[in-house]
Homo-oligomer: A and B are copies of this chain.
Amino acid sequence: MTPDQIPAATTPIPHSPHSVARPAIGGGRGGKRQPRRMPPRPNQALRPRSGSAKALPALESGNIRIIPLGGVEEVGKNMTAVEYEGDILVVDMGFTFPNDDTPGVDYIIPDATYLETNKHRIKGVIITHAHLDHIGGIPYIMPKIGNPPLYTTLLSAVMIKKRQEEFPQLPALDIQTIEPHQHLTLGHFKIRFFTVTHTIPDSFGVIIDTPYGNLIFTGDIKIDTKDNIPVESEFKTFEKLGKEKTLLLVAESTNVEKPGFSYPEREVQENLRQIIADVPGRIVIGTFASMFERIVYMVQASENLGKKVVIEGRSMRNNVEIAKELGILKVRKETIIPAEQIGDYPENKIVILATGAQGDEFAALMRMSTKEHKHVKLKKGDTILLSSSVIPGNEKSVQKLKDNLSRQGAKIIHYGIADVHSSGHSYQGELEWIHKMLKPKFFIPVHGHHSMLRVHADMAVRLGVEEKNAIVPDNGMVIEIADQGGRIFAHKETVSSKVVMVDGLGAGNVQEVVIRDRQALAQDGMFVIIAMVDLKTGQVRKSPDIISRGFIYLKESQDLLRQVRSQIKKVIEDSTRQMNPINFDYVKNAIREDVGKYLFQKTHKRPIILPVLIEV
Bound form: Cα–Cα A520–B104 in Å: 9
Query: Once the chains bind, are A32 and B451 in contact (CB under 8 Å)?
Result: no
12 of the cross-chain contacts (CB-CB < 8 Å) are A1-B530, A15-B549, A40-B404, A101-B396, A407-B450, A504-B604, A518-B525, A520-B550, A521-B550, A528-B547, A530-B614, A614-B614
CB of A519 closer than 8 Å to a CB of B:
yes
Quick one: which of A512-526 are within 8 Å of B by CB?
A: 513-515, 517-526
Apart from A6-B546, A392-B399, A393-B396: 10 A-B pairs, beta carbons within 8 A: A1-B542, A10-B561, A34-B362, A406-B450, A406-B451, A511-B553, A511-B555, A515-B550, A518-B550, A530-B612
CB of A182 closer than 8 Å to a CB of B:
no
Query: Once the chains bind, are A104 and B509 in contact (CB under 8 Å)?
Result: no
Query: Once the chains bind, are B603 and A551 in contact (CB under 8 Å)?
Result: no
Query: Once the chains bind, are A522 and B362 in contact (CB under 8 Å)?
Result: no
Bound form: Cα–Cα A454–B412 in Å: 10
Contact A547-B450, Cβ < 8 Å, known A362-B34, A522-B522: no
Bound form: Cα–Cα A449–B73 in Å: 34
Quick one: which of A368-415 are within 8 Å of B by CB?
A: 369-371, 392-393, 395-396, 399-400, 402-407, 412
Q: Which residue of B lies closest to A518 (CB)?
A: B550
Q: In the A-B complex, list the 3 residue pairs whose CB atoms are closest, starting with the nearest.
A: A392-B395, A504-B604, A522-B522
Question: Which residues of chain B come closer than 8 Å to A513, judged between CB atoms?
Answer: 553
Most buried by B among A449, A525, A542: A525
CB of A154 closer than 8 Å to a CB of B:
no
Question: Which residues of chain B come closer than 8 Å to A614, judged between CB atoms?
Answer: 530, 532, 614
CB of A42 closer than 8 Å to a CB of B:
yes
Q: How large is the interface on A (under 10, 10 to 19, 20 to 34, 35 or more residues)?
A: 35 or more
Quick one: which of A243-290 are within 8 Å of B by CB?
A: 257-259
Among candidates B362, B402, B519, B610, residue contacting A547 with C-beta atoms closer than 8 Å: B610
Bound form: Cα–Cα A614–B5 in Å: 16
CB of A344 closer than 8 Å to a CB of B:
no
Contact A5-B545, Cβ < 8 Å, known A259-B417, A518-B522, A603-B506: yes
Quick one: which of A1-53 are within 8 Å of B by CB?
A: 1, 5-6, 8-12, 15, 31-34, 36-37, 39-40, 42-43, 45
Question: Which residues of chain B come closer than 8 Å to A99, judged between CB atoms?
Answer: 396
CB of A305 closer than 8 Å to a CB of B:
no
CB of A505 closer than 8 Å to a CB of B:
yes
Contact A396-B555, Cβ < 8 Å, known A403-B450, A550-B518: no
Query: Once the chains bind, are B522 and A104 in contact (CB under 8 Å)?
Result: yes
CB of A317 closer than 8 Å to a CB of B:
no
Question: Which residues of chain B come closer than 8 Å to A100, judged between CB atoms?
Answer: 100, 396
Query: Once the chains bind, are B530 and A525 in contact (CB under 8 Å)?
Result: no
Query: Once the chains bind, are A166 and B561 in contact (CB under 8 Å)?
Result: no
Mark each residue of chain A from 77 to 100: 1 if its CB lies under 8 Å from any CB of chain B, else 0. 000000000000000000000011
Contact A395-B393, Cβ < 8 Å, known A10-B554, A518-B525, A547-B610: yes
Among candidates B10, B393, B417, B547, residue contacting A8 with C-beta atoms closer than 8 Å: B547
A367 shortest CB reach to chain B, Å = 10
